[in-house]
A and B are shown apart, each in its own frame.
Chain A
Amino acid sequence: MADRSPHDPLAGIAFDRVPPAGAYGVTGEPGIVVSTAEEPFIALVAARNGFGASVAERLGRAFGGPGLDRPHAGFGSGSTVVGIGPGRFLVLSRAEADLPGTLRAVLGTEAAITGQSDAFVLFDLSGARVPDLLAKGAPVDLDPRVFPVGDAATTLVAHIGATLWRSGETGWRVLVARSFEASFTRFLLGAGAEYGLRLEGRG
C-alpha cells in the first residue's frame, strides 16, 4: 500500500512475489535467520485403516525417530518423519530420489504413498527470537516446556496452513504449501522485522 510508513516492515515489498534474500528490519545481529531448507524429496504416507501403529513403527525403523503415531518429528540421517494426522506422515529425505519407491518397499500394502516433493516449501528458522516470531502467527503453545525438540504441530500460521516442528534448541522447521511461499515469507518479514531478520538465498 502506498500509505505504508518506512517503519512498516512490509513497506516497499511486493505482496505477490517471494521477497529477495537480504537483511530485513532492525540492523545488527539478526534475531532470526530464515532459509528454505534443502530436503528436496517429500512423500505422504497414509496408513490404511488399522495400520497406523504398524506404519509408524516401520517408518521409525527405516528412517529414524521413535516410530509413534502422533504429532512428532523423528530424525534419521538425512531424513525426517513427521506425523500430521492419525496414520498420516510426511517423510522428508535429502537423498532418496525415488522416495515413493523406497517407501513402498518398506511399507508394502499397509499404506498409500503419494509423492509431494513439489507441494511444499520447507522453511528453516533459527535464532533466539524465533519463538516470539512464531507467537505472532501460530496459535499453538510452543514453549520449550511443553513443546520439546521433536514435537510437531499441523496448524495455521498467519492464516496459512503449516506443519511445524522443533528441530533443535533454537531451530524450527515450517512446511508450507508452495503456492503460499510469498505470503508466508511476507509474514516472516512483517513479524520478524522488529528483531532483525536475515533471509538467506535459495541454497
Chain B
Amino acid sequence: MSRLNRNRLEAGGLIDRARPLDFVFDGHRYHGYAGDTLASALLANGVRLVGRSFKYHRPRGIFSAGAEEPNALVELRADARREPNSRATVTELFDGLEATSQNRWPSLGLDLLSLNRFLAPFLGAGFYYKTFMWPAAFWEKLYEPVIRRAAGLGRAAREADPDHYEKATAFCDVLVIGAGPAGLMAALAAGRSGARVILADEDFLPGGRLNTMAGEVHGQPAAAFAAHVAAELASLPNVRLMTRTTVFGVYDGGTYGALERVADHLAVPAPFQPRQRLWRIVARRALLAAGATERPIVFGGNDRPGVMLAGAVGTYVQRHAVLPGRHVALFANNDGAWREMLDAAATGANVETVVDVRPNVAPELVEAARARGIRVFTEARVIATQGRTLRSFDVLSPGGRERLAADTLAVSGGWSPCVHLTCHHGGKPAWNEALAAFVPGATPPGLAVAGAANGTFGLGAALREGAGKGAEAAGALGFPVPPLDVPQVEDAPFALTPFWHVGESRGPAFVDLQNDVTAKDVGIAHAEGFRSVEHLKRYTTLGMATDQGRTSNVTGLAIMASLTGASIPETGTTIFRPPYSPVALGALAGHHRGKDFRPVRLTPTHEWARAQGAVFVETGAWLRAQYFPRKGERDWLETVSREVKAVRASVGLIDVSTFGKIDLQGPDAGTLLDRVYINTFSTLAVGKARYGVMLREDGFVMDDGTTARVAPEHYVMTTTTANAAKVYQHLEFCLQVLWPELDVSLASVSEQWAQIAIAGPRSRQVLAKIVDTGVDVTNEGLPFMGAVEARVMGGVEARLFRLSFSGELGYEIAVPARSGAALAEALMQAGEEFAITPYGVEALGVMRIEKGHVSGNELSGQTTARDLGLGRMASTKKDYIGRVMASRPGLVDPARPCLAGFRPVNGSSRLRAGAHFLPLGARPETANDEGYMTSVAYSPHLGHWIGLGLIVRGPERIGERVRAYDPVRGEEFEVEICAPGFIDPEGERLRG
C-alpha cells in the first residue's frame, strides 16, 4: 500500500501502517493510514491542489496542519451528511471517507469562475459597498445570485441531518485546555493531587507539539513520552481525558463551552451514538495550554499550493511520515523555523534552500544547513512564486534576484500564542516586544495560562510552567500536590526579527488566504480611512469566516500599523469572542429539535381525548384538545360549531386542568389576596368562589381567575394557563420580599388536580349522577360561585366549583390527577342520555367571545381593568398592587380604547382579529386609529361572525358603525359596535 503513498516515508510517524484506510477525494480513490488526517493523506498521495479561493477562485493547497487552516476546506461526506467547510487538516481519516473540493465549477482542475481573477480590480476591499450600491433593484436580481455562485465556501446539505446531537454538563476542580507539553504536565500535577481534572484537546491524539517534533524527552521519543503521560492520566479515576474536544468559549462563573466530536472520525456514528456532544464544563480553576499558531510572511504569490507553514511541514514529516514535496525551501525570520527544517531534513525531507530576512543568523544554524547542502540566503526575501502548484520562486538578496526551483516553500514569520480564550471576558492581549507577539493580558477569573499559549515557547520551559501552574491550581483548592519530576529539556535561545510583508512583492500578496484579502487591500482600507482594526476587518473581511484570521490577524494589523505609523500595540487587535472555532447549530440544539424543541405537558385526559378523536394544539407547553372532529364534518368550523351548539343545547365537557392552581394556607391568606387582587377576598364566605383580577404594580392587568375559600385559612386560586408560573412567582415575591410578616404558605397544586368543566343546561343532571350519596348539587346546595369539597365516583375526593366561562350553567370538578381520565369516562357515561359532547379549546373560545369574557388576547399587558370593563370590581376601601399607578391620568383617560363587541354590518363578513378601527371615511393613518379587534369567532348561536375589541370610548358608542381595516390580509369591512356579551347578557342561564 505504501508504494501508492508516493510521498510517504518508509518508516516513522504516528500512523498505524497495519491499518490502511481507503478514501475518496473529488471522485478519486486514495489510501492512507489510521493516524492520518485528510490533509496528511492527500499530501501522502501527492494531491496538492485541494480547493479554490473564496473570491478569486485561485487554486489553493494545504497551508497548515491544524485548526488554523484557511485554505484546505472541503465538503465532507455526501448527501444528508454533507458538511461544508470541513478543515482537511483536522479531519481524522476514516475508512470510506468521502470529500469534495469547494468553490469550483465545474471541476477543481478547470474552474471557469477563476476568471474572477481578472475581475480582481473590482473585487478589492469594500467591493460589496462600492460596486453594488445602485440601483437597489439590481441587488436581488443580479448581483447577489452572481456573487453567490462565484464567491463563497461550501454547500450545506439539502436534507435534514440524520444524526443526533446532545448536550451534557461536567464539573471539575481543574480544567486543562490543551494536551500539549504544558497541558500534559499540568494535568499530571493536578491529577496526582487527587483533584478532579478534565484534560481536553481537540486532537485525537494527546501530545500536541510532542507529537510533531523530532528528538527525545525523558530518554524516549517525544511522542512516546506524551503517550506515557496520557496513559497515566487515563488510569487515574479522578482524571477525565477528553480527546477530539475543543474548548471554544469561556463564560461566567468558571463555565466553559466545549464540543466533543464523538463520531466525526467514523463514516456513520455507531447505533445510538451521538455525532457530537456539546459540553458545559464548570471548573473551579482552569489552565489554558492551547499552544501557539505559526504565522506566515506576506509575499507575492504566497497563496500558491505548495506554500505552507514551516511547522506544518515539520508536522507532516514527523507525525505523519509524509513529505509534502520533493524540493523544499524555507522562508523565515526566526531560528525555530531553521531547526524545524534541519530536523525535517534529518528525517528524510529534501531541503534545498533557506531564505532568511535577517542579515545575521546564528552561525551554528548556517553551518548545519550548509553541511546538508542547503543553499542559504540571508538578508533576503521571496518576492514571487511560479507554477499552477508551486514550481519555483524568486529570491531577492544582496546578491541580486534569482529564481529557484521548489515544490514546497515553508514559511515562518514567528508564532502567535493562542490567547483567544483569555479574551472572552473582554481582556485585551498584551504585546510582547521580545517575542513580537501578543501574549495573554488580563484573564477571566480562575483561568491561568501556561506554555506556548503564554508565550513560553521553549519545550523545557513549557513543561516546567505547565507542571507549576497545574500544581498551583490544585494547591489553591486545597489538594496536596506531590512533587513532580519534570523532564529536563534544554531550550535553544529564541531568536526572531519581526518581519511581516515583502514590499518588493510581485503579484498579489495575500494577508488573509480564506477571504482573499491582500496587502494591497489593507492599503486601500487605510487610504479610504478604515484604519481602526475593527473597521479594517469589516471593510476588507480580513479575519472573518471559519478560521477567524488565525494566520492573518497579526500580519494584517502589523501592515496597517506600518501604514499609519502607529506601533502594533497601539493598533491593537480585534476582539476575540466565542466560539474559538465553528460549532454546528445541531450541537447547540442537541435533542431539542422538531417536536422535541421543548418538553410538552400532557393533560390527565390526554389519552382519553385521543381515543375520542381529538385534534391537539400546543398552548404554551401544554397539548390540549383543540376540537373533536366527527366523520363527515367538512372542516374545523363545522366541528367547533357542532360542539358549541351541543353545549348550549344540552351539555359538554372539557379538560381545564391546565389552569394554574395554587393553594394558599395560613391566617393571613385573605390579607394577601386582598393585596394582590383589585377586589376583596378576605370577606369571601367559606364554600364560595369569586372572580378576581390582579394588576402589575404599574397598574396594568397581569392575570385573572377565580379563587375559592375552602376553609377559613385555606384558599384555592386559579390562574390562566399561560400565567401559572408567573403568578406563583409574583405571590412568592409578595410573601418573601414585600410582606415577609404575612403568615401564608403557598403550594402549587396544578399537577395534583385534574379539572374538568361541564357546561350546558343539562350539566347539573350529569353532575348529580357522579357525586356520591349526600352531596347536594341543587341550586340551593351548590349555588352559582359555590365551591365545596366532596366525594365523587364512589369515594374519590373532589372539589366542586360552580363556575362558568361559556355563559351556560356550568361546573368544574377537580379530582386527583390519576383519576382524571376516569372522571371523563364517568361524565361521558352519566351524560350519555343527554348526548354529552366533548369540546375543545376552540369551542371554549367561541363561547367566551359570545359571552364577552376577556382572555389572553385582551389580557395583553397593555390593558387596565377599566379598559376591560372590569373597573367597577376595584375596591376603594383597601390598597392593592397596582392601585396607585392605575389611577394615573393616562390610565383613566376616558378616551382610552375600551372593550366592546363588534358585529359585521354585512352579516356574511368574516371578521379578523388584528384589524384596526377607523371612523367611517377616515384615511387609514395612525392619527385616525381608534383601536383594534382582539378576538373573533363565528357564533353558531347568532349565525354570523362576532368580535371583541378595544376601541376609543367603546361603551359610549354602542350602535355606531366603524371601519375595521386589515392591511395585512388586504381586507376591510364595516362593523357595528355593540355590548361585549352576545348571549344571555343578564346571566340567567348560569344562575338558573
Q: Do chains A and B touch in the complex (CB under 8 A)?
A: yes
Chain A interfacial positions (CB closer than 8 Å to B): 1, 3-10, 15-17, 25-26, 44, 46-49, 111-112, 114-120, 135-136, 138-141, 143, 145-146, 158-160, 177-184, 186-187, 190-191, 193-194
Q: Contact between A8 and B602 (Cβ–Cβ < 8 Å)?
A: no
User: What separation, in Å, do the CA atoms of A48 and B746 have in the docked complex?
Assistant: 10
Chain A residue contacts of B272, Cβ below 8 A: 7-9, 25-26, 193-194
Contacting residues, chain B, for A3 (C-beta < 8 A): 80, 159-160, 162
| Closest Cβ neighbor of A181 among chain B residues | B602
Which residues from 729 to 779 on chain B have a C-beta closer than 8 Å to any C-beta of chain A? 740, 743, 745-747, 749-754
**Of A49, A114, A159, which one neighbours B599 at CB under 8 angstroms?**
A159
> Which residue from A16, A117, A140, A187 sits with its C-beta under 8 Å from B816?
A117
**Can you give 10 contacting A-B residue pairs, CB < 8 Å?**
A1-B594, A16-B623, A49-B743, A120-B751, A136-B169, A143-B171, A178-B604, A178-B751, A179-B602, A194-B274
Instruction: Please name the residue on chain A nearest to B170 by beta carbon.
Output: A135
Report if A5-B751 is in contact (Cβ < 8 Å); known contacts: A10-B591, A135-B168, A182-B600.
Answer: no
B753 contacts across to A, CB distance below 8 A: 118
* Chain A residues within an 8 Å CB radius of B480: none
Query: Are A5 and B816 within 8 A (Cβ)?
Result: no
Residue numbers in A under 8 Å from B163 (CB-CB)? 5, 7-8
Choice from A7, A112, A119, A159 contacting B752 with Cβ under 8 Å:
A119
A178 to B80 Cα, complex, angstroms: 37
Query: Which B residues are in CB contact (< 8 Å) with A8?
Result: 162-164, 272
Residues of B in contact, count (CB < 8 Å): 58
| A140: B residues at CB distance < 8 A | 169
Report the separation of the CA atoms of residues A8 and B273 in the bound assembly, to the nearest whole angstrom: 8
Inter-chain contact A183/B743, CB cutoff 8 Å: no
Cα–Cα, bound, A45→B336 (Å): 70
A61 to B472, CA, bound (A): 46
- Contact A118 B600, beta carbon cutoff 8 Å: no
CB contacts (< 8 Å) of A120 on chain B: these are: 751
The CA of A114 and the CA of B750, in the complex, are separated in Å by 12
Cβ contact of A118, chosen from B166, B169, B270, B752, cutoff 8 A: B752
Are A118 and B751 interface neighbours, CB within 8 A? yes
State whether A158 and B743 are in contact (beta carbons under 8 Å apart), knowing that A118-B818, A136-B166, A145-B196 are contacts in the complex.
no
Chain B residues with CB under 8 Å of A186's CB are 596
Are A141 and B171 in contact (CB-based, < 8 A)? yes
What sequence of 0s and 1s flags, for each residue 659-700 of chain B, a beta carbon within 8 Å of any chain A beta carbon?
Answer: 000010110000000000000000000000000000000000
Are B745 and A111 closer than 8 Å at their CB atoms? yes
Could you tell me if A179 and B751 are in contact, using CB atoms closer than 8 angstroms?
yes
Q: How far is the CB of B320 from chain A (nearest CB, A)?
A: 31
Beta-carbon contact of B665 and A5 below 8 Å: no
CB proximity of B446 to chain A, nearest CB, Å: 16
Q: What is the CA–CA distance of A177 and B160 in the complex, to the nearest angstrom? A: 33
**B602 and A46 form a contact (CB under 8 A):** no
Quick one: given A15-B595, A135-B169, A187-B591, are A9 and B164 in contact (CB under 8 Å)? yes
Cβ-based interface call for B616 (8 A): yes
| Contact of B196 with A112 in the complex, beta carbons under 8 Å | no
Is B229 located at the chain interface by the 8 A CB criterion?
no
Q: Report the bound CA distance from A160 to B274 in whole Å.
A: 21
Measured CB to CB, the closest approach of chain B to A52, in angstroms, equals 12
Digit string of B966-991 for contact with A (CB within 8 Å is 1, else 0)? 00000000000000000000000000
Which B positions have Cβ atoms within 8 angstroms of A?
80, 159-160, 162-164, 166-171, 196, 268-274, 280, 282, 591-596, 598-604, 606-607, 616, 622-623, 663, 665-666, 740, 743, 745-747, 749-754, 816-819
List the B residue with the shortest CB-CB distance to A2: B160
A116-B752, A118-B816, A120-B751 are contacts. A183–B273 as well, Cβ < 8 Å? no
CB-based nearest A residue for B599: A183
Which residue, B163, B623, B745, has most C-beta atoms of chain A within 10 A?
A: B745
Tell me whether A7 and B271 are in contact (CB under 8 A). yes
A1: nearest chain-B partner, CB-CB: B594
Known: A44-B747, A112-B666. A5 touches B169 (CB 8 A): no
CA distance A194 to B275 in the complex (A): 12
Complex Cα–Cα for A26 and B272 (A): 7
Q: Are B164 and A143 in contact (CB under 8 A)?
A: no
Verify B273–A15 contact, CB threshold 8 A.
no
Residue pair A119, B749 in contact (C-beta under 8 Å): yes
Min CB distance B725 to A, Å, is 10
Distance A182 CA – B273 CA, assembled complex (angstroms) = 22
In the bound complex, do residue B282 and residue A16 qualify as a contact, i.e. CB atoms below 8 Å apart? Answer: no
Known A118-B818, A187-B591; further 13 A-B contacts with Cβ < 8 A: A3-B159, A3-B160, A5-B164, A7-B272, A15-B600, A25-B272, A49-B743, A117-B816, A139-B169, A143-B171, A180-B599, A181-B602, A191-B166
> Please, which residues of chain A bring their CB within 8 A of the CB of B274?
194
Q: Which residue of B lies closest to A197 (CB)?
A: B272
Residue of A nearest to B160 (CB): A3
Closest Cβ–Cβ distance, residue B482 to chain A (whole Å): 19
Nearest B-chain residue to A158, judged by Cβ = B599
Asked whether B666 lies within 8 Å of A48 as measured between CB atoms, the reply is: yes
Q: Across the interface, name the chain A residue whose C-beta is closest to B622.
A: A179
Assuming the contacts A114-B665, A118-B817, A119-B817, asked whether A1 and B595 have C-beta atoms less than 8 A apart, the reply is: yes
A114: shortest Cβ distance to chain B, in Å?
A: 4
Establish whether residues A112 and B665, one from each chain, have CB atoms under 8 Å apart when the complex forms.
yes
Closest 3 CB pairs of A and B: A5-B162, A183-B599, A112-B745
- Complex Cα gap A5–B623 (Å): 26
- The distance in angstroms between the C-alpha atoms of A15 and B595, with both chains bound, is 7
Question: Is there an interface contact between A46 and B745, defined as CB atoms closer than 8 Å?
Answer: yes
Q: How far is the CB of A131 from chain B (nearest CB, A)?
A: 11
Are B666's CB and A117's CB within 8 A?
A: no
A177 touches B751 (CB 8 A): yes
If A7-B272, A48-B745, A119-B749 touch, does A159 touch B598 (CB 8 Å cutoff)?
yes
Closest to B277 in A: A136
**Minimum Cβ distance to chain A for residue B469 (Å):** 23
CA distance A51 to B604 in the complex (A): 35
CA A6 to CA B269, docked complex, whole Å: 11
A167 to B268, CA, bound (A): 38
State in angstroms the CA–CA spacing of A4 and B163 once bound together: 8
Cβ of B591 and Cβ of A178 under 8 Å apart? no
Q: Name the residue among A111, A139, A140 with the largest chain B CB count within 10 angstroms.
A: A139
A190 touches B591 (CB 8 A): yes
- How far is B173's CA from A146's CA once the two chains are assembled, in angstroms? 11
Is there an interface contact between A194 and B273, defined as CB atoms closer than 8 Å?
yes
Question: Does B271 contact A26, Cβ atoms closer than 8 Å?
Answer: yes
Chain B residues lying within 8 Å of A177, measured Cβ to Cβ, are 601, 751
A48 proximity list for chain B (CB < 8 A):
666, 743, 745
Residues of A near B746 (CB, < 8 A) are 46
Query: Chain B residue with minimal CB distance to A3?
Result: B160
Task: Determine the chain A residues whose CB is within 8 A of the CB of B594 once the complex forms.
Answer: 1
Q: A49-B740, A114-B663 are in contact. Are A179 and B818 (CB under 8 A)?
A: no
The chain B residue sitting closest to A44, CB to CB, is B747
Structural contact, A7 and B603, CB atoms closer than 8 A: no
Establish whether residues A179 and B601, one from each chain, have CB atoms under 8 Å apart when the complex forms.
yes
CA distance A194 to B750 in the complex (A): 35
Which residue of A has the minimal Cβ distance to B664? A112
A8 to B, closest residue via Cβ: B164
Task: Assess whether A46 is in contact with B747, with CB atoms less than 8 Å apart.
Answer: yes
Would B599 and A184 count as touching, CB distance under 8 A? yes
Residues of chain B contacted by A47 (CB below 8 angstroms): 745
Docked Cα-Cα span, A25 to B273, in Å, equals: 9
Interfacial chain B residues near A183, Cβ < 8 Å: 599-601
B751 lies within 8 A of A136 (CB): no
For A15, the chain B residues whose CB sits under 8 A away are: 595-596, 600
Distance, CA A66 to CA B840, complexed state (A):
49
Provide the residues of chain A in CB contact with B666, threshold 8 Å: 48, 112
Measured in the bound complex, the distance between the Cα atoms of B594 and A116 in whole Å is 32
A95 to chain B, nearest CB (A): 18
In the complex, the answer to whether A7 meets B591 with C-beta atoms within 8 Å is: no
Please indicate the chain A residues that have their CB under 8 angstroms from the CB of B603 in the complex: 179
A117 touches B752 (CB 8 A): yes
User: How close is B661's CB to chain A, nearest CB, in angstroms?
Assistant: 10
Provide the residues of chain A in CB contact with B819, threshold 8 Å.
Answer: 118
A159–B589 alpha-carbon span in the complex (Å) = 13
